[in-house]
Structure 1
Amino acid sequence: MKQLIGQLHLCKTVLTYLVLLFTSVAIAQAQTLPIIQQVKFKKDTTSIVNFGAKGDGVTLNTISINKTIANVSQKGGGVVLIPSGLWLTGPIELKSNVNLHLKRDAILQFTDDFNQYKLVEGNWEGQPAWRNQSPISGTNLQNIAITGSGIIDGNGGAWRMVKKDKLTETQWKKLVSRGGLVSEDGKTWYPSEKTFKGSKIKNAGIIVAGKTAADYEDIKDFLRPNLLVLTSCKKILLEGVTFQNSPAWNLHPLMCEDLTLRNLQVKNPWFAQNGDGVDVESCKNVLIEGSTFDVGDDGICIKSGRDESGRKRGMPTENVIIRNNIVYHAHGGFVIGSEMSGGARNIWVYDCSFIGTDIGLRFKTTRGRGGVVENIYVNNINMIDIPGEAILFDMYYAAVDPVPLAGEKREAIKTVLLPVTEATPQFKNFYIKNVVANGAEKAIFFRGLPEMNIKDIHLENVTIQSKKGIEIIEASGIFLKNVNVITEDTNPIVNIQNGTNINISGLQYKNESELLFNISGDKTKDIKVSGTDVSKAKKTSAFSEEVNKSVLEISK
């Protein structure tokens, strides 16, 4: 009896120790998450009606709304109320200490009169550029918010060019009947001559010394604004509101700090060119939670400037929490890049679902960017109906749609070894766990540069049903643990080309698969496989001529 009591006491002691251990680990992990400072406002509320606004869908309320915001800010801040109604307006400029609050049955719609939007010095895809003034903007502000449950509509259909291949025949005919013009090949509709002319100019709108806004007037319509642009602001809250139908990106916080996006609906037509959901660029301390995205380009995207201008700015996006979000249509569910020249680091993404996004987890860059993306932690991601890759790392991003349109042909990548410079990008230290995907073209894809491999990527507890399996090209330090790929194409399950230090443990795959490992590339070495039943495949491995079979080591 004494022995039994002693054993029970020992078990209780061990259990207590384990509880304390796991609790301390959880606390330690929680402490690593960044703290995002929150906004605080005076309770005073002023309606835009007090300054003459009319919600009749006809009256242009630009002056009334901006006067209300300025007045409230001058008095120390408070709430600016957008009540029930359809409120037509031109550009709105936010002010410090103001919460712009929309009632649920309020629609704030921006005019399609381009003359209401002046050309301003802004930023486009990570570079200084002339753009039309954003419908909503703010610079060097503190303690600002847009809240409520109403709708903010950017009237983006007036601005965007549209590809014929993305519409039905009926939709195309209806679009063309609006006016505008169609390209010579009949494949693209443009809303105006200025839009068409701008589309033919490389780097249109990029700021050039000695040129003024007047020099860009003939392509003004092409320089589409992002719906919301906040620049160098601190303590921001966007909560509850629907942002939709943007001329270009929906939400663009740039060089901001302490940013919270909560319970938003962010929508664009699926064919909306550059119709991103949110692009967090060179920001610090960010929380995106409980929000839903259904857009025409990347859903939740991390950026930090493009090429030399991004490196010169030198501001990474860092200390970011992204949790409990749903992304429907988008080019990517969670995305980093391709404009990441200032770097990205310390980002946590967890408890998110991607439904029909072209790619699930999408990490993209290209030569010329530079920048280091590191310390990325992804956990508990669910996906269904992914037309492209469930998980993708690609350092050959080519600025095209991730999934080719019907009949579209793309040239194969030509691999060339170049010197490493400050313009060479880096992806390293990614930790991805607990991912489930039902339906994808390809399960996992890594493609690094020969001069700068993708490095130190850890995938654990991943189950993906897809047409094709795993492809690893120019990558080093890839750790796959308990990965289950259920593929239609079983020849091969894993393709490795110029991969080094590849560690695969507990790989699962279909019985009677044609080929488990296809290995090529004269730089390939140190491939270690363990805890994997290789006998389930008809053939375990195939090697190209330049590869020594000893590079593959299989153990129990």
Structure 2
Amino acid sequence: MKNLFVIVFLVALAIAQGCKSIPLEKQLDDALPKADQVGADNLPTEIETVYSPFFEGSFARPTFPDRRDSILADEGGEEIQKKIDKIAAAGGGILLLKKGNYHSGRITLRSNINLHLEEGAVLTFKNEIADFLPVVFTRNEGVELYSLGACIYANGAKNIAITGRGKIIGPGDGSVRKNTMTHDVIENIVHSDTPVEDRVYDGKTAAFIFPPALIAPINCQDVWIEGISLARSAFWNVVPTYCENVVIRGLRINSVGIQRGDGIDIESSKNVLVEYCTLRTGDDCIAIKAGRGYDGLRVNKPSENIIVRYCLAAQGHGGFTIGSETAGMAKQVYVHDCVFTGTDVGIRFKTRRPRGGGGANIRFENIRMDVVHSALRWDMLGQALHVGNQASREFSVAKNALTPRFADIDLKNIYIGSSADCIKIEGIPESVLANVTFDRIYGQGVRYLSLKDAKNIRLKDSQFFCEDTRIDSLNVSGLEQKNVKLITKDKKL
């Protein structure tokens, strides 16, 4: 990856010296990473130098006591938890799952434990609610409650890891999937004025449960997840929540066809590095979240100091998404040198009027994408299916505690190979999108730019090759275009 930075630097230097004969399309196409240069297949052994414009990141591989135990497939999945507890009681160490097939209920990691799945080890989780009881404290879609938690869970642990070349598979057909709550949005089911300890969903107190993520540590410090493959999630795949110092690298995630099958969701966590992951998902590939509605405001924990780099989003709703549950805000997020190919949307910012939050101090650099719908998308209203009349900008809403906001966002060196909309912005009248800069964007698409409810939007040194190069705008102020070239593409081409 260091070579990519050298190429970008040389291109920038050539331009600064007056060599402007190289078309922007070629400059970016030559300099930016391609799909075969990012993702899990290119994972280096050690973490390369980490940089963010917002914070000084330092991430180091964890160490564990020199204490090892192992599991053979024929010992049964119940032995996994017993041996984890035994190693933890002795001070920590490594539990090795050797090559073979394992079936287990929920596994809870303890401090100073590395669960290592060697290549050929396949850990499949059971299908019934009883396999994930008793309920545990968790956060589901941004709301705190007690339910099934996660297939691999931890609460308050320090120095934990899940590593190796093995595979983790979520529950199949059974009561977990059959009894998952899907009939309404969660804030209509779990009321914010109900004490958290009374929000119990075990399949008995209510006829439904909230499904387990595959891996979801909560309130943990120093979390390392590396190398494994994940499939058939019942819900989101990897969800560090209220965690600090998290590294997620070299994962292969496949949840195609699974509703709400997000790949990696960073939830109200701090100091996070995500790198060299390959994602094919049934929902968003990588997402930043920070709580939902009044419950998220009560907790008030942002997702902050986050770096995402060298990842490949090969299928999913969004390559990288912020929202739509961000009541605690997403801030100081830096995403660079990633490829999004075949996703519905490339980079997406989502809020909803009843959910609050948003984000600020966010930067994207050196991104290549080929997408189905919008390449760069702000969607602050949502759908009536989820939020009723509030999904319409014609529905007047006064500013309140849940009014979302996005501001101070920079996008630079973005190559859009194909899209329907290169840039599509839908803010909200009472809280317009503010202070967004687009710098050195090459975009091909059907439509160039759509703007609603925005101010101080700046585009510079960019080129767009579209069937429709008109600007569709409503309630926009401070739109600036400097050295932006628009070329109308013949629809027959």
- Equivalent in 272, 283, 294 of residue 269 of structure 2: 283
Shift of 1:418: 2.8
| Closer, same or farther: CA 512–276 of 1 in aligned 2, 3 Å | closer
CA distance in 1, matches of 2:437, 2:54: 22
Q: How does 1:23-422 map to 2 (within 5 A)?
A: 32-36=55-59, 38-49=61-72, 55-56=73-74, 60-62=76-78, 64-118=79-133, 119-156=135-172, 158=174, 192=178, 194-195=179-180, 198-200=181-183, 203=186, 206=190, 208-209=194-195, 211=198, 213=200, 216-217=203-204, 222-269=209-256, 271-384=257-370, 386-398=371-383, 413-422=392-401
Superposed counterparts of 1:399-478, under 5 Å: 413-478=392-457
State the match for 1:508 in structure 2.
Answer: 485
Are residues 30 and 441 of structure 1, via their aligned partners in 2, closer, same or farther at CA, if it must alter by over 3 Å?
closer
Bigger relative contact order, structure 1 or 2 (CA pairs below 8 A, ≥6 apart): 2
CA RMSD of aligned residues (A): 2.9
User: Percent identity, aligned pairs only?
Assistant: 30
Distance 2:222 2:199 in 1: 33
Post-superposition offset of 1:482:
2.1
Distance in 1 separating the partners of 2:151 and 2:319: 25
CA shift, 1:513, in A, is: 8.5
Note closer, same or farther for the CA distance 1:159–1:465 as it changes in structure 2 (3 Å cut). farther
Unaligned runs of 5+ residues in structure 2 are: 1-12, 17-48
> What is the CA-CA distance between 1:412 and the residue it aligns to?
8.6
Deviation at 1:277, TM superposition (A): 0.4
Structure 2 CA distance for aligned equivalents of residues 30 and 200 of structure 1: 42
1:495 aligns with 2:479: no
Contact 1:334/1:362 (8 A) holds in 2: yes
Aligned 8 A contact 2:407 2:436 in 1: yes
Question: 1:377: Cα distance to partner?
Answer: 0.9
Deviations 1:121-171 (A, max 9, x none): 4221111234224211000000000011100111355578xxxxxxxxxxx
Listed one character per residue, the Cα deviations across residues 99-142 of structure 1 (whole Å, up to 9, x for unaligned) are 10011110011112332122334221111234224211000000
Cα deviations by residue, 1:357-388 (Å, 9 ceiling, x for unpaired): 1110000001133324110010010112x121
Question: SS where residue 123 of structure 1 aligns?
Answer: strand
* Alpha-carbon distance change, 467 to 158 in structure 1, aligned in 2, over 3 angstroms: farther
Q: CA 1:31–1:274 in 2, change beyond 3 Å: closer, same or farther?
A: closer
Greater mean alpha carbon deviation, residues 133-142 or residues 120-129: 120-129
Instruction: Summarize the Cα distance change of 1:390–1:211 in structure 2 as closer, same or farther, 3 Å threshold.
Output: same
CA distance in 1 between partners of 2:268 and 2:215 (Å)? 16
Distance in 1 between residues matched to 2:445 and 2:385, nearest whole Å: 22
Equivalent residue letter for 1:70:
D
Rounded to whole Å, the distance in 1 between the matches of 2:327 and 2:244 is: 19
- Once the two structures are TM-superposed, the CA of residue 400 in structure 1 deviates from its matched residue by 6.9
The one-character-per-residue Cα deviations of 1:464-513 (angstroms, maximum 9, x if unpaired) are 1111121011100101112222112x2x5221211101111122222589
Q: Is the 8 A contact 1:159 1:247 kept in 2?
A: no
SS of corresponding position for 2:297:
helix
CA distance in 2, matches of 1:368, 1:510: 40
Pairwise CA distance, 1:202: 5.4
Seen in structure 2, the aligned counterparts of structure 1 residues 75 and 127 have a Cα distance that, compared at 3 Å, is same
3-state SS of paired residue (1:254):
coil
Q: Give the Cα separation in 1 of the matches to 2:347 and 2:480.
A: 21
Q: Distance in 1 between matches of 2:440 and 2:175?
A: 44
The offset of 1:433, in angstroms, is: 0.4
Following superposition, the deviation at residue 212 of structure 1 comes to: 6.8
| Conservation of the 8 A alpha-carbon contact between 2:383 and 2:391 | no
Q: Structure 2: which amino acid aligns with 1:373? A: G
Q: Aligned pair in 2 of structure 1 residues 371, 113: CA closer, same or farther (>3 Å)?
A: closer
List gaps (5 residues or longer) in structure 1: 1-14, 19-25, 50-54, 161-190, 402-409, 515-556
How far did 1:258 drift? 0.1
Question: What is the CA–CA distance in structure 1 between the aligned matches of 2:471 and 2:453, rounded to whole Å?
Answer: 14
| Kept in 1: contact 2:304–2:332 (CA 8 A) | yes
Note closer, same or farther for the CA distance 1:28–1:225 as it changes in structure 2 (3 Å cut). Answer: closer
Q: TM-score, normalised by structure 1?
A: 0.74
**How far did 1:399 drift?**
8.0
Task: Give the match's secondary structure for 1:73.
Answer: helix
* Native 8 Å contact 1:264 1:291 kept in 2: yes
Amino acid at match of 1:61: G
How many residue pairs were aligned?
Answer: 439
CA contact (8 A) 1:159 1:224 kept: no
Report deviation, 1:331: 1.0
- Taking a change above 3 Å as real, the CA distance of residues 338 and 60 of structure 1, as seen in their structure-2 partners, is same
Q: Distance in 2 between matches of 1:322 and 1:422?
A: 30
Tell me if structure 1 keeps the 8 A contact 2:384–2:390: no
Alignment check: 8 A CA contact 1:60 1:90 kept = no
Which residue in the other structure is 1:480 paired with? 459
Cα pair 2:143 2:292 within 8 Å, conserved: yes
Deviation at 1:242, TM superposition (A): 0.8
Does the CA-based 8 Å contact 1:462-1:484 persist in structure 2? yes
Distance 2:273 2:58 in 1: 9
1:351 and 1:212 mapped to 2: Cα distance? 41
Q: CA deviation at 1:219?
A: 5.1
Alignment partners' CA distance in 1, 2:319 and 2:230: 18
SS of residue paired to 2:326: coil
Q: CA shift at 1:60, angstroms?
A: 4.3
Q: TM-score, normalised by structure 2?
A: 0.83
Q: Is the 8 A contact 1:254 1:280 kept in 2?
A: yes
1:428-453 deviation line (CA, Å, top 9, x unaligned): 00010011111211110111111111
TM-aligned CA deviation for residue 98 of structure 1: 0.7
